Amino acid sequence: MAIQSVKKFYFLDYLHILLDSISQYDKRIDVLTSFLVLKRRYSLGESKYKKLTVDTEDITDGRIRRYIYTFNQVISEALEYKLVKATNNLDSIHLTELGEKLLSKYKERGSVSFNEELFRFMEDKYGAFRYLVSKLYAANRTLPGLLFLPSYSPRQLGFERESIKTTNDFIGYSEALVEKLGNDIEKYVGQRRDLTNENQKLVMRLIKTDLLPSDYKKCFDPKKYNVITKRFRDFWMSYFLQKVYHYDFSMNSFDLWTYRGKQIGIIHATEFNPYFCGKIVYPLSVIMKSVESRDFDELYRYDDGYSFFIHKPRWSENQEQFVAAIWEAYVDLRRTYRSYFVNLMALREIVCLSTKISEKTFEDFMNRTYKLNLSGKLQIRISLEVDKLPEETGAMYLKREPVMIDNKYRNIIAIDATKGGRAEK
Amino acid sequence: MSKLLKKPQQLQRPETIGRFQKFGLSDNPFPSEPYVNQDSTDKRMNGGIYETEIHKKEFQQIMDCFLKQPQIEPNHLRLGYIIDTSYIGRGNGKSAFLVNLKQIIDDDYCLDISDGTNKCFAVYVSPEAGGRTKTFPGFVDILYQSIVKSGAIRSSLAALRLEAIRKLYPNIDQIIEHFSDEKLLSDLDSEEWFSQNNFDIKAISEEIYKNDFLQQLPDDFPLFRGRNSWIKPFITAKDFTEHYFNNLRKSSDRITFVFSHLVDYFLAAGFNGAYVLVDDFERIPDFQSERQRRDFALELRSCLFDGSCSNARLGFYNFLLVFHAGVPRLIGDAWAASGMEQRAPILPKISSKHVIRFEKLSKKQAILLLKKYLAEYRIEGVELDPLFPFTEDAVHRVGELSEYNAAKMLKMVNELLEKALDSEDAIVINSSFVDDNLDIFEDDSSRKQPIIKEGRAVDLENKAKGRKQ
């Protein structure tokens, strides 16, 4: 189906730097060069997360091939939306009027408006977001819109890496995993399912592809440990998506669309909820004919009278609720982790979920809250610091967007209730 | 039968034992929230339980390089850094260490430690969390409040009065012979006591004013309040605070008051120095811009070393800034640009006297720490191993699990003890008991059960329909 054929790139910023490059050059090779320069300048793509290693200067052939592949994908998507036009062999590329308009929108009103405009083009062409969001609301009866894709590593189930050496050891893990997943399905979807057959199929497939030895007592190649655990993870995530929630998406397309939705601020997707192992996806938007609340903006109108509304709470009317949410989230985290300072990104996850706001809105509201705090206008006192908690010194928060408050990246937060304030209610 | 004689079917038995009596303890000796709160009356919380054997090395360095060095030597160290070697720097016992250091200094105003060379008091300063202390004047306000809290102003006033009384009324020594320091302090602060003993307040004040160190002070200095009026007010420490906050509006006036006038006043009262212990110093630079950091460093340098105030000339206040290992990197540039790096390098290439490295607990120290807490709550007359009910291997296991972080360890043993109370067969707490009960403090993935709160989150569809959440 059309949704599946979406171009393979995640970052909407790529479309922006493509348009920007084409506005300056028209030869394909010049556009490519400019695209790569801008990609590097704005640290787009995966490189934006790599905080722990230094980027090597030398670029391998493989990397170049990947860059060119991405570049071609971005161009073909821009062509689909009629933002650019090109000669047949793609040697020469120009912006269309639409493309120019979109680019000037970015310059005048920033990335949020740009992304929202892109949303309209994407929805015109694919209608994927409507499908995605409607499915999300249908997925879970008890917690509307919340999609759980559980994933438990051997360690999370109490199997230390040293103790997993043979096929038999992995089977032990897979049985524990299946039991856990079965419980999750019952809990979130309200169905009882026997996953033993699926599990056997998976193990047989791993043996067939020589990842696990067919002699159950034999040791597997320890270098393949990570590949094998990843196979388990991918298999069960896809299983949940397609067999439990009945999506027509492959896991890849699903990730791609949810990540795009996250950038626009209409969907939240995370693997870092402190209270859940695996991935959580939920909408920050609704599809209805009309809304009664002022906290929603209409992004798109469909032919059948329904509209796509994005949840965009106004600070002036939601500050009480936001501060209450950070206090509640903080108290919970402090209780769970038994530490006065807690991870700010973990707090963000809880607050985004409970108030259904995007990470961008969280950052904006947090900044405003922090300013109120500094001027002494809050019932609570907030301390934000840059250090990490001791258990977080490893590479564990790659791929998490950092939180910038008061022009500084912050990692941990502590909150105090002031005298006469709303201490633990 | 009268209800006065009727009895319930069951009655408490007199031999019922207290909850912790099972372990020979009167209460759980360990804090559940192990963060020092100086104002708490609970000794588990206020840093009152302190094992001096722990951090002895750090303490010795402070003794040798600061407390024992003659204050009148102009080149004595005026600024030192206590740097927590762990990056996170929370819960290693720094605050407890400082509170204790302050107490040791104040016990005999450092006279015992320095063999009579120095008479110094100590001030404990803790900048506000949350970045409200960004500028040097803001810091000086907190410093001033901490000086008041330390009681130095009150005891100086008492010292000045006592000396004057002794000159005017030679028989005073007989009256106060058996007074404790506490009683002396409160009597000398009480107008009533003066009139009871028929001491002439006016004459005593005039006697005080003759002190050499007071001659340079301006007329509005609180000690001189009402000097030329008809009715003599009785000055107390409160007058100082009122003067500071009501009369001194400009920040430069406040800085001069703290770093010049108060210094002269303390000198007049017989002190020749003070140790200012600034806890959690990182709370200041963490929130400052690069420029604010530089300005702060410049003013600190001026007040401590190179300015024209009394303190810069005499080196009265000795600052010990306490922070975690990430801070030198944070303020290194500001320190270099302001010239502080020449005065007291924060990034010294070789080990220096003024940099005190605050180490984590060792295995041995962890055991000492627990023994100290247990001893405080051991029921009198009960003969038990000082570590009971814990075994040494249990302490090692707890140490490993908490990376020998003092606060985490205390919290863990607090919970272990509670757990052991509930378990009928736990007679001692050994390492396998610790392992069996890992779930109570494991903050790892194993506790990451999906406990997403139902019903608390906003339901967007309902909200969009305008229904109340």
Q: Are residues A77 and A178 in the same domain?
A: no
Assess if residue A8 is contained within a domain.
yes
Q: What is the mean pLDDT of residues B205-228?
A: 89
ipTM for the predicted complex? 0.81
Residue where a domain terminates, one of A202, A228, A244? A244
Assess if residue A291 is contained within a domain.
no
Assess if residue A370 is contained within a domain.
yes
Note whether B251 and B137 are within 8 A (CB).
yes
Q: Where are the beta strands (DSSP E) in B241-392?
A: 273-278, 317-324, 355-358
Residues of chain B in contact with residue A150, where contact means CB-CB under 8 angstroms, are 450
In tens, the pLDDT along B350-380 reads 778 888 888 878 888 888 888 888 888 888 8
pLDDT confidence tier of residue A419, bands split at 50, 70 and 90: very low
pTM over 0.90: no
Share of chain A above pLDDT 90, in %: 46
Q: Are residues A118 and A22 in the same domain?
A: yes
Residue A389: per-residue pLDDT: 60
Residue A163's CB is within 10 A of a number of other CB atoms, namely: 11
Q: Are residues A15 and A121 in the same domain?
A: yes
Q: Is the pLDDT of residue B88 over 60?
A: no
Q: Are residues A118 and A173 in the same domain?
A: no
Buried b / exposed e across A109-136, counting CB within 10 Å, b at 16+?
eebeebbbbbbebbbeebebbbbbbebb
- Cα R_g (chain A), whole angstroms: 24
Q: Are residues A326 and A393 in the same domain?
A: yes
For residue B453, give the chain A residue with the closest CA. A354
Select the more confidently predicted residue: B360 or B62: B62
Q: Is some CB atom of chain A closer than 8 A to the CB atom of B404?
A: no
Considering only CB atoms, A144 lies closest to which of B35, B324, B459, namely: B459
Note whether A109 and A124 are within 8 A (CB).
no
CATH of the domain at A365: 1.10.10
Residue A349: per-residue pLDDT: 93
Note whether B419 and A131 are within 8 A (CB).
no
Q: Are residues A22 and A108 in the same domain?
A: yes
Residue A80's CB is within 10 A of a number of other CB atoms, namely: 16
Q: Are residues A14 and A88 in the same domain?
A: yes
Report d(CA A322, CA A314) in Å as an integer.
Answer: 11
Residues of chain A in contact with residue B287, where contact means CB-CB under 8 angstroms, are 406
- Nearest CA to CA, how far is A362 from chain B (Å)? 15
Note whether A128 and A3 are within 8 A (CB).
yes
Q: Is the pLDDT of residue B133 over 50?
A: yes
Q: Judge: B461–A137 Cβ closer than 8 Å, yes or no.
A: yes
Q: State how far the alpha carbon of B421 is from the alpha carbons of B412, B424, B425, in Å.
A: 14, 7, 9
Residue where a domain terminates, one of A191, A216, A244? A244
Assess if residue A425 is contained within a domain.
no
Strand partners, A85: A94
Residues of chain B in contact with residue A299, where contact means CB-CB under 8 angstroms, are none
Assess if residue A289 is contained within a domain.
no
Helix (H) or strand (E) holding B262: helix B262-268
Residue B29: per-residue pLDDT: 85
Assess if residue A268 is contained within a domain.
no
| Binding-face residues of A in 142-181 toward B, CB within 8 A | 142-146, 148, 150, 153, 155-156, 158
Assess if residue A217 is contained within a domain.
yes
Residue where a domain terminates, one of A244, A264, A299? A244
Q: Are residues A207 and A109 in the same domain?
A: no
Q: Are residues A20 and A116 in the same domain?
A: yes
Q: Judge: B457–A388 Cβ closer than 8 Å, yes or no.
A: no
Candidates B449, B460, B462: best to mutate against A (most CBs of A within 10 A) is: B460
Of A44-53, A95-104, B327-336, which range is least confident?
A: A44-53
Residue B88's CB is within 10 A of a number of other CB atoms, namely: 23
Residue type, A196: T
Residue A351: per-residue pLDDT: 94
Report d(CA A360, CA A367) in Å as an integer.
Answer: 11
Strands A278-283 and A267-270: antiparallel
Q: Judge: B452–A376 Cβ closer than 8 Å, yes or no.
A: no
Of A275-289, A371-385, B61-75, which range is least confident?
A: A371-385
Q: Are residues A23 and A104 in the same domain?
A: yes
Q: Is the pLDDT of residue A50 over 50?
A: no
In tens, the pLDDT along A320-345 reads 889 989 998 998 888 777 777 888 99
Domain count, chain A: 3
| Binding-face residues of A in 99-118 toward B, CB within 8 A | none
In tens, the pLDDT along B435-444 reads 777 766 544 4
3-class state of residue A250 by DSSP: coil
Report d(CA B442, CA B172) in Å as an integer.
Answer: 64
Q: Are residues A102 and A216 in the same domain?
A: no
Assess if residue A308 is contained within a domain.
no
What mean pLDDT is reported for chain B? 84
Q: Are residues A13 and A120 in the same domain?
A: yes
Report d(CA A365, CA A361) in Å as an integer.
Answer: 6
Task: Please work out, in degrees rounded to the nearest 5, the angle formed at the alpha carbon of residue A290 by the alpha carbons of A284 and A294.
Answer: 60
Q: Is the pLDDT of residue B157 over 80?
A: yes
Whole domain around residue A164: which residue ranges? 147-244
Strand partners, A269: A281
Distance of CA B1 to the CA centre of its chain: 62
